């Protein structure tokens, strides 16, 4: 059975039924409670234990409907690095601008003629920026091509990735971990997050563990087994494999795999990400019985210009055209926020600028994404300073936002038509996704996006108070000991729920 490390998702339970929001710049009623001048004891103690000073922290708890002033406000106008909490800005902007039913389309076109199951010419696969074209969906698309009458391509399979500006990102640039799947860069034809998934299955009778890799990759030699060790326990099994995964043409295991580990999977980014789509498409096409006389390759700029001029890319002339829509945006947003998927967030960010009001498509780039998001912010929240955006995922040392601006945006979201879709995307405290093991004393009562980088930890979202009030909660720590300060942010969430 096909396995993909990101294709299985936990979906959210019912969320809050919230009232229209309140701008933080709005004057509060005179009878409202004043913001507390000192930090709650549990938060202060947790920061002290983490050796994080209060001037490295921003905290805000404010009524979600806007009928009360903040219960807690500490350094709320200081611009801070929010790590993956910045995904809240990107996902809300995408839901608001594109609509929760928006889909990306991968289009397959023929440039030639078909007879007796043979395409004489090229098959063109045009990427539209689908953020989640995982193995199963790629193979379903290829099966659809074969069912439509093309079993043999007497020519090339040509890939059009021009919807996004080519990325010059070095996968090792951010943290020196180029094979971590979270460092994958955007691609208009993103296949399986540019990652392969290795599956290891013990075969005790033959004293080996079987190795399977998905998706099938063309042009790479892969060891199909590794020696089986009879260890009493499963230890550091990845290290014990002594895997060579940095050669794009060879995947080798010179160590052993412990029988005590049972079946395990290991996702890894492919070491040559630029060639991954071609290898995955060719490997899958051939594994499914398709024949190809040529190669799978990227389209050249002159070739694309000619295809556009002939109307081929628009699907006006060819007898074969298949459109494979993505999952709807509301489902993509759940993956982005619940599991903090960086490359999917970056696809949303780029897509904001792809289409003009007249419907014309533009080549998306980080610069056009930033311009589109900031224009949306200034229109939606003109009284609040706009965030500093880089790539929209939070995997950045540049991005900044104030707690006041972020809270105002979360309040604004509750007035919008996409409020439920945003809420449904947030991890539930003590129950699922990145919040499964956090704030368990208030399980089910807070809906929180988390963020973590070196020197950064952050939370932001909504909390149900025990007295019936609902709150926006924001907490960000920028300090070398930030990770140690997570208990302080959990205490912030608990304090908001318990309304002390």
Asked whether the predicted pLDDT for residue 183 surpasses 80, the reply is: no
CA contacts within 13 A on the Cβ side of 132: 23
Task: Give CA separation, 228 vs 258, 262, 266, in Å.
Answer: 6, 11, 17
Provide the whole-model pTM: 0.87
pLDDT of residue 312: 75
The predicted-structure confidence for 197-229, as pLDDT tens digits, reads as follows 999 999 999 999 999 999 999 999 999 999 999
Q: Is 54 exposed, middle or buried (0-12, 13-18, 19+ CB in 10 A)?
A: middle
Candidate from 18-22, 133-137, 211-215 with smallest mean pLDDT: 18-22
Q: How far apart are CA 122 and CA 153, in angstroms?
A: 7
pLDDT of residue 22: 32
Asked whether the predicted pLDDT for residue 6 surpasses 70, the reply is: no
Instruction: Calculate the average pLDDT of the chain.
Output: 87
pLDDT of residue 449: 98
Q: What's the rounded mean pLDDT across residues 420-447?
A: 94
Candidate from 45-59, 236-250, 395-409 with smallest mean pLDDT: 236-250
Asked whether the predicted pLDDT for residue 290 surpasses 60, the reply is: yes
pLDDT of residue 356: 47
The predicted-structure confidence for 232-261, as pLDDT tens digits, reads as follows 899 899 999 999 888 899 999 999 999 999
In the chain, what are the domains? Answer: 41-101+331-498 (3.40.710.10), 105-170+274-325 (3.50.80.20), 181-269 (no CATH)
Candidate from 34-43, 47-56, 164-173 with smallest mean pLDDT: 164-173
């Amino acid at each position: 059975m096909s396995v993909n490390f990101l294709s299985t998702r936990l979906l959210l339970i019912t969320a809050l039924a919230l009232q229209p929001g309140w701008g933080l710049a709005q004057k509060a009623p005179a009878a409202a409670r004043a913001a507390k001048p000192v930090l709650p004891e549990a938060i202060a103690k947790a920061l002290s234990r983490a050796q994080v000073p209060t001037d490295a922290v921003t905290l805000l708890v404010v009524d979600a409907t806007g009928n009360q002033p903040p219960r807690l406000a500490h350094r709320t106008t200081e611009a801070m690095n929010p790590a993956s909490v910045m995904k809240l800005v990107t996902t809300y902007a995408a839901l608001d601008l594109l609509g929760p039913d928006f889909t990306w389309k991968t289009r397959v076109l023929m440039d030639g003629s078909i007879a007796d199951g043979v395409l004489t010419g090229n098959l063109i696969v045009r990427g539209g920026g689908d953020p989640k074209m995982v193995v199963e969906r790629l193979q379903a698309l290829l099966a659809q091509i074969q069912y439509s009458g093309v079993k043999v391509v007497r020519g090339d399979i040509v890939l059009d990735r021009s919807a996004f500006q080519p990325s010059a990102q070095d996968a090792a640039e951010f943290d020196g971990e180029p094979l971590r799947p979270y460092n994958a860069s955007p691609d208009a034809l993103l296949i399986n997050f540019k990652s392969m998934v290795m599956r290891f299955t013990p075969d005790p009778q033959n004293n080996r563990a079987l190795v399977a890799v998905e998706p099938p990759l063309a042009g790479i030699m892969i060891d199909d087994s590794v020696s089986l060790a009879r260890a009493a326990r499963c230890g550091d099994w990845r290290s014990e494999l002594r895997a060579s995964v940095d050669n794009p043409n060879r995947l080798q295991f010179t160590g052993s795999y412990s029988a005590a580990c049972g079946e395990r999977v290991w996702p890894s980014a492919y070491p040559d990400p630029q060639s991954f789509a071609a290898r995955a498409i060719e490997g899958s096409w051939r594994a499914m019985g398709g024949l190809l006389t040529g190669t799978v390759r990227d389209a050249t700029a002159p070739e694309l210009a000619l295809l556009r001029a002939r109307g081929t890319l628009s699907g006006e002339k060819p007898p074969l055209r298949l459109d494979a829509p993505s999952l709807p945006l509301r489902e993509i947003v759940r993956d982005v926020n619940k599991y903090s998927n960086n490359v999917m967030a970056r696809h949303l960010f780029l897509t904001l600028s792809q289409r003009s009001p007249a419907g014309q498509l533009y080549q998306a780039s980080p610069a056009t994404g930033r311009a589109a998001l900031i224009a949306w912010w200034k229109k939606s929240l003109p009284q609040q300073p706009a965030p500093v955006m880089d790539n929209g995922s939070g995997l950045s040392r540049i991005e900044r936002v104030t707690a006041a601006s972020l809270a105002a945006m979360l309040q604004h979201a509750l007035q919008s038509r996409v409020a439920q879709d945003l809420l449904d995307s947030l991890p539930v405290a003590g129950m699922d996704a990145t919040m499964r093991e956090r704030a368990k004393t208030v399980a089910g009562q807070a809906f929180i996006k988390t963020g973590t980088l070196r020197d950064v930890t952050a939370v932001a979202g909504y909390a149900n108070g025990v007295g019936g009030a609902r709150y926006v909660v924001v907490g960000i720590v920028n300090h070398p000991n930030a990770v140690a300060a997570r208990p302080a942010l959990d205490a912030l969430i608990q304090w908001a729920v318990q309304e002390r």
